[in-house]
Structure 1
Amino acid sequence: MTDQLFDTVLVANRGEIARRVIRTLRALGIRSVAVYSDADAGAPHVREADVAVRIGPAAASASYLDIDAVLAAAVETGAQAVHPGYGFLSENVAFARACDEAGIVFIGPGERALEVMGDKIRSKAHVEAHDVPTVPGFSADRMTDAEIARAADATGYPLLIKPSAGGGGKGMQVVRSAEDLPDALATARRVASSAFGDDTLLLERLIERPRHIEVQVLADAHGRVIHLGERECTLQRRHQKVVEEAPSPVVDAATRARLGAAACAAAASVDYRGAGTVEFLVAGDRPDEFFFIEMNTRLQVEHPVTELVTGIDLVEQQLRVAAGLPLEISQDDVRLVGHAIEARVYAESPERGFLPATGEVFAWVPSGDARTDAAVETGSVVTADYDPMIAKVIAFGADRSEALARLDAALADTVLLGVESNIAFLRSLIADPAVVAGDLDTGLIDRLPPFAAPVPSDAALRAAALRAAALPARTQPLDENTRDDVVLVEQMGSHGRFVSPLWARGSGWRAGAESVRGAGSVLLATGEVVTLPRAVATGRPDPAEAATRDGSVSRADAPFAVDAEGWLWIHVDGATTRLQPLSRRAAMEHRLAARDAASIAAAPELRAPMPGAVVAVHVADGASVVAGTRIVTIEAMKMEHPVTAPHDGVVRLDVAVGAQVRRDQILAHVTAHEAG
């Protein structure tokens, strides 16, 4: 079969999807070409490909979105075809056209499908003409704000504003009243323009408590269009999918057939070729009623769950279709067996409002009992340049209950040290009673109480003490020639070597130091001070206590690392803990500081919650504002984060639009009005 396909394929993407495509290319004996930016020079996909070509600096606009650079790499390496993955250029009609003009096969649909389905407004009107049900709404193209307001009143609130040219939930805004419309329009336009180069908007009636159901389709150039069943993608946060599964727990065979027929009709109406996804909203109280949202003309992030329940390699099918071969699968051949659930692992801090996180991955050890598609490995560096999703963990079971249990076990086994992640949140989410029961809607996550990181168990604290006590002290002092990344300690076992200048700088955790046994508390990453169990605080724990309760993991062998700021990361009993030891004096000082902070007025400084770029300044220097007023907006990892005034006062700006800021950098001062 391989002699009918391609000899060389360039993968115009990065991260886990690039690695996943390369995996199938290797299995088919096809030479793979990776492209990379300066930020990804050491990324796993670069090493795993047969050939790798640099295409530009870290900024996606100057590398992964640079059509000329990608095509030049394809020509240079003799690639016959380009696989765009998802995101970046995957739905860019100009890129598909440029590939065609260069005599290179674009592994995706034709220009007509990209043009029609790449525009939410046009696609909605198009599928309506082919008897596919759609949500009431209107296009804001070429409309003034006043005209939009009148049309919004006529359609009725609540409304959902969506960038017409975009996807992935970026720029979406929920508007519940006419008063909220102007700000929502401004934000949606700004994000749409930045992310997609097009600020045209679509406004639709917001269906309350809906489910998000999508149908995977495959189509060839010989007239065959089939579907591979549906995926439940309802668990979302701010319109970004978090957990997906196949099949949906509420779709019966009759509804599946109707959904599949509608999806195939939408695909056939644009002469679709390749793998695509047709997305629907399903009414929460009427799962047999559905409305077309959009069609994604590419491979989806969540495609693995469909692969696991159907046994079909979707990338292989994309390659076959792109090579002009007919599908060898008929609709009658498609069988959904078992249940698969995928959880997206993001580099973010759920306890800090899901703000993006960056840093070096000191240890990455995926579970051996689930499929894991990862963008990182031990030694990777997560930057603010790209999307915060760094891995997907996908579990399969005979039924939904078994798949959920296996996903939880796989997440518990996944070791990620050095970068904050949402793994603990994911475990909490899939244990939620509504999720376990399959009673889902797209607002479920947003209604959950703020996530609080679990307090470390005694086992985690004992393991931290064991690790600290086993570390060798450095006898040579650091000097100006010592690099910050010099390896001062080596972890025993299979988890590699870790960076730790801390151990040479007098840390209380140094082996044999009195302060190890004298420390009675630890500082958690949340800022909370926790008193150590007596066995930890008074001396080195008994080695006999090193086994976990079930005896399956040795606490003395728990994966651990220490970062350059002195935080100890350790993974025990399915949870990662980040902490610092405190002397009694330091613990008292932290508690007093926390008490004082709660009793005094908020500080005047507004600090950056994460590294990123200032994309908007909402007030003038010297303006008087009230608490909650937006002062600046920061963009990081393709998401916007507003920074608001903590209290009434006068603003003094410290940054301007376009500034690149560090985490905790001062952005502005809001000086409270003087009493009186």
Structure 2
Amino acid sequence: MTPKLFDTVLVANRGEIAVRVIRTLRTMGIRSVAIYSDADAGALHVSEADEAIRVGASPASESYLDIDHVLAACRATGAQAVHPGYGFLSENVEFARALQDAGITFIGPNVDALLLMGDKIRSKNHVSAHDVPVTPGIAEPELSDEELIDAASQIGFPVLIKPSAGGGGKGMVAVDTAEALPEALLSARRTALNSFGDDTLFLERLVRAPRHIEVQILADTQGNTVHLGERECSLQRRHQKVIEEAPSPLLENHPDGERLRAEIGAAAVAAAASVNYVGAGTVEFLISDEAPGEFFFMEMNTRLQVEHPVTEEVARVAGERLDLVEAQVRIAAGLPLGFTQDEVSLHGHAIEARVYAEDPSHDFMPSTGRLLEIKEPMGPHIRVDSSLAEGLTVSPHYDPMLAKVIAWAPDRAGALGRLDAALARTVILGVLTNVEYLRLLLADPEVQAGNLDTTLIERKMPDMAFRPITDTELVLAAALAAARHPGHGGTWHAKDSWRLGTPATVTTTLEVNDKLSVLTSMPTPTGRTYTLGGNDFEVASLPGGIVAINGVQQRPATAFGDDDTLWLSREGAVTAIRVLDRNELLQRELADRAHIPGEAIPEVRSPMPGTVIAVAVSDGQWVEAGEILVTIEAMKMEHPMRAPAAGTIQMGRLHVGDLVKANQIVATLIYDSVEEQP
């Protein structure tokens, strides 16, 4: 008798992966249930699902990570199975066990496989016993900081700190010297505990010029396990993948690539089969670019991966595309794979770029705000996995990934070009994004040639030339701002320089990336003349809201935010342009007058909204320049705030767990003399 598929599946996740799973469930004729926090009440995955249920407050720990709340949602909606997506509870053993006890199917591996492969220490030791090569290091449970520090001297620097639980590169820290290790361990433990509820760490020798290659596997309940080829995920920043592709250019260009592909695929299948793995999973390997014939097991991710779309785009089973989410659901329902390894083939090349709400030109600071306009690229062999919708708010509570843009072509060069063109057509206004940065990466000669490793971005970043805003764009912003407020309040309040007698010059001050630009303008018979940097720009308004500058029509995507910030997007690059009013200019001038030239600004301000996760000093304490005062977490990233100079610090009433706003003062420095230092 053929097992029956589920009637109702609850998706225990949010964002683009929740939307993606819900849409596959719809094509399978399965009723979907979404869960949401207060911050996600209006999210796209909520409206996409057949039913949605609130599971708690905005912090993930009070909603998406609360097992009792998710179980209550299952019972309330009659869900027979749960798809966990990735992140959150997808690799949580207690969650899988709780579902099992409740008679609800977990669309993922069994508890035993989660226990073994979901823990990097246990999995590394396990596969080593099954003759799978592993990276040198120390992987034992419950190692103290002192034991890890002692072991590091034996392993040799540089070392890589890795959390035993979780994934996505969170908590992973490369350390070059013994002196830097204690603070790095402290930060890694804090990140691991906050992200995964487990602060267990282990160490590996850091492999120089590493290639990150992973293999997608599928396994059913009848003991059949296959792999669907490999993915190259070597383009990473701080151990977080940025661009992924399938197949790997390393194996494609290797003279013995087919043999190496077969060996690494067989190793992945053997690792999964050794724990009776069931469902979709990924076995990750490290290959040194200096010795591409060898590979080392890193870990197994017991869930769907963020980058699974590139495998779906190139893998064929008996010539047909495969939906990995559908395969997961069918396997969880007890159905066999229905195909063998011999029926799997790879066709063409696919590349995926992760679009994040962040500012790459300012150390990738997270960006939050309301989405004002969204235009996602379309076209042949372009795929966008997204949860974006105009009017939604990108909050600081969750991961900053907004969408994934995927391109397929018969060859790698075609996929690179198609993806770049798609990113150039991507418009996301209301938050800063990394789209321009992604395009710069794709255009890099080493990336074009397929010469990748996990340190490439770190090497290239200092010389990455982000496109500066042009004078024409500044003039456009000033003109659009003037048109938005054309003198409400009557003639005497007009901002068009009308007065009795000759027209007055209007001054507009714009702020972009903490730099001010001052423009002056005068009315003309057809519009206005703006002057910037000694150059004149003739601005005319044309029908349909189009603006012409010096006779050239300007058509970039623009939108005004609630705070009168103009968001401008051109070829993927997003710029936020603030129009400063007289009151703000006055306050800045007064602050400048009070500031002693050459002296550090005494206020330490939060660069973004977030949560205080550590306060390192006490009120009235003497601090040195650069000393960490407070650490703020936003979008699952830690941001230490440091003292701008030596002096006595005033922390106010800031405590761990407090929420801070962007630009909020978190500490104030009093410049005591050195003689007064305690």
TM-score, structure 2 normalization: 0.87
Structure 1 letter corresponding to 2:616:
H
Change (3 A) 1:288 1:650: same
**SS in structure 1 at match of 2:214:** strand
Distance 1:594 1:541 in 2: 36
Alignment match, 1:670: 669
Q: Alpha-carbon deviations, 1:330-361, whole Å to 9, x = none? A: 21222211111111111111122111111100
Aligned residue for 2:179, secondary structure, equals helix
After TM superposition, list the pairs within 5 Å mapping 1:270-669 onto structure 2: 270-310=275-315, 311-369=321-379, 370-447=382-459, 448-449=461-462, 453-457=466-470, 460-461=473-474, 464=477, 467-468=480-481, 471=484, 473=486, 475=488, 518-519=506-507, 522-529=510-517, 537=531, 538-541=537-540, 543=542, 558-580=556-578, 600-654=598-652, 655-669=654-668
Equivalent residue letter for 1:314: L
What CA distance in whole angstroms lies between the structure 2 residues aligned with 1:659 and 1:117?
36
Distance in 1, Cα, partners of 2:669 & 2:239:
32
Q: Distance in 2 between matches of 1:595 and 1:453?
A: 33
Aligned to 2:31: 31
Separation in 2, partners of 1:124, 1:282: 16
CA contact (8 A) 1:467 1:556 kept: no
- Identity rate, percent: 55
Q: More deviation in 427-436 or 570-579?
A: 570-579
Q: CA deviation at 1:139?
A: 2.7
1:37-65 CA distance string (max 9 Å, x none): 11111001111111111111111111111
Closer, same or farther in 2 for the Cα pair 1:157/1:378, shift >3 Å? same
Match of 1:486 in 2: none
Q: Which amino acid aligns with 1:70?
A: V
Q: Secondary structure at the match of 2:347?
A: coil
Q: Distance in 2 between matches of 1:516 and 1:363?
A: 35
Distance 1:595 1:243 in 2: 47
Give the whole-Å Cα distance in 1 for the aligned partners of 2:244 and 2:143.
Answer: 36
For 1:488, the equivalent position in structure 2 comes to none
Offset of residue 8 of structure 1: 1.3
| Worse-superposed segment, 432-441 or 567-576 | 567-576
Using the TM superposition, name which of 514-523 and 610-619 deviates more: 514-523
650 and 81 in structure 1: CA distance in 2 versus 1, 3 angstrom threshold: same
Distance 2:50 2:31 in 1: 6
Query: Which residue of structure 1 aligns with residue 269 of structure 2?
Result: 264
Say whether the 8 Å CA contact 1:519–1:583 is kept in structure 2: no
CA distance, structure 2, for counterparts of residue 178 and residue 122 of structure 1: 26
* Alpha-carbon distance in 1 for matches of 2:582, 2:395: 36
Whole-angstrom distance in 1 between the partners of 2:667 and 2:503: 40
Deviation at 1:329, TM superposition (A): 2.7
Alpha carbons of 1:94 and 1:451: their partners in 2 closer, same or farther (altered >3 Å)? same
CA distance in 1: counterparts of 2:619 and 2:478, whole angstroms: 50
Q: Measure, in 2, the Cα distance between the counterparts of 1:472 and 1:624.
A: 49
Shift of 1:581: 5.2
Conserved? CA contact 2:426–2:571, under 8 Å: no
Deviation of 1:671 (Å)? 2.6
1:580 deviates by 3.9
Looking at structure 1, the residues matched to 496 and 362 of structure 2 have their Cα atoms a distance apart, in angstroms, of: 27
Moved more, 559-568 or 371-380: 559-568
- Taking a change above 3 Å as real, the CA distance of residues 394 and 433 of structure 1, as seen in their structure-2 partners, is same
**Shift in alpha-carbon separation, 1:8–1:582, aligned structure 2, 3 A:** closer
| 8 A contact 1:519–1:581 mirrored in 2 | no
Q: Report if the CA contact (8 A) 2:132-2:267 is conserved.
A: yes
Tell me if the contact between 2:3 and 2:333 (Cα under 8 Å) persists in the aligned partners: no
Shift of 1:209: 1.8
Q: Call closer, same or farther: CA 1:179–1:96 in 2, change over 3 Å.
A: same
User: Is the CA contact 2:605–2:664 (under 8 Å) kept in the aligned structure 1?
Assistant: yes
The answer (yes or no) to whether the contact 2:507–2:518 under 8 Å persists in 1 is no
- The residue number in structure 2 matching 1:174 is 174
Give deviations 1:265-319, integer Å, cap 9, x for gaps: 1100111111100111110212221111110000001111111111311101101
Kept in 2, the 8 Å contact 1:10–1:81? The answer is yes
Rounded to whole Å, the distance in 2 between the matches of 1:531 and 1:396 is 45
Q: Provide the residue aligned with 2:246 in structure 1.
A: 246
| 530 and 117 in structure 1: CA distance in 2 versus 1, 3 angstrom threshold | farther
Q: Give 2:318's aligned residue.
A: none
Q: Which moves more between the two structures, 397-406 or 461-470? A: 461-470
Q: In the aligned structure 2, how far is the partner of 1:590 from the partner of 1:145?
A: 46
Moved over 6 A (4+): 504-510, 514-517, 530-535, 544-549, 582-598
Q: Which SS does the other structure have where 1:178 is aligned? A: coil
Instruction: Decide whether aligned partners of structure 1 residues 236 and 435 sit closer, same or farther in structure 2, where only a CA change above 3 A counts.
Output: same
Of 522-531 and 599-608, more deviation after overlay is shown by 522-531
Per-residue CA shift, 1:574-633, capped at 9, x if unaligned? 433322457999999999999998952111211112111111122333333222211111
Superposed displacement of residue 169, structure 1: 1.1
C-alpha separation in 2, matches of 1:121 and 1:614:
30
Report the TM-score when normalising by structure 1: 0.88
Q: CA deviation at 1:86?
A: 0.4
Structure 1, 592-601 or 377-386: larger mean CA deviation: 592-601
Distance change (3 Å), C-alpha of 1:110 and 1:435: same
Counterpart contact for 2:148–2:202, Cα < 8 Å = no
| Local SS of the residue matching 1:565 | coil
Query: What is the distance in 1 between the residues matched to 2:418 and 2:63?
Result: 38
CA contact (8 A) 2:19 2:45 kept: yes
One-letter amino acid of the counterpart of residue 212, structure 2: H
The worse-fitting range, judged by mean Cα deviation, of 47-56 and 524-533 is 524-533
Q: Which moved more, 1:602-611 or 1:13-22?
A: 602-611
The residue identity in structure 2 corresponding to 1:641 is H
The one-letter code of the counterpart of 2:656 is V
Partner in structure 1 of residue 165 of structure 2: 165
| Corresponding residue SS for 1:25 | helix
Structure 1 residues 675 and 98, CA, compared in 2 at 3 Å: closer, same or farther? Answer: closer
Distance 2:132 2:279 in 1: 21
Secondary structure class of the residue paired with 1:213: strand
Shift of the 142–7 alpha-carbon distance from structure 1 to 2, 3 Å rule, reads closer
Q: Which has the higher strand share?
A: 2
Mapped to 1, the partners of 2:293 and 2:497 lie a distance apart of 60
* Whole-Å separation in 1 of the counterparts to 2:248 and 2:132: 20
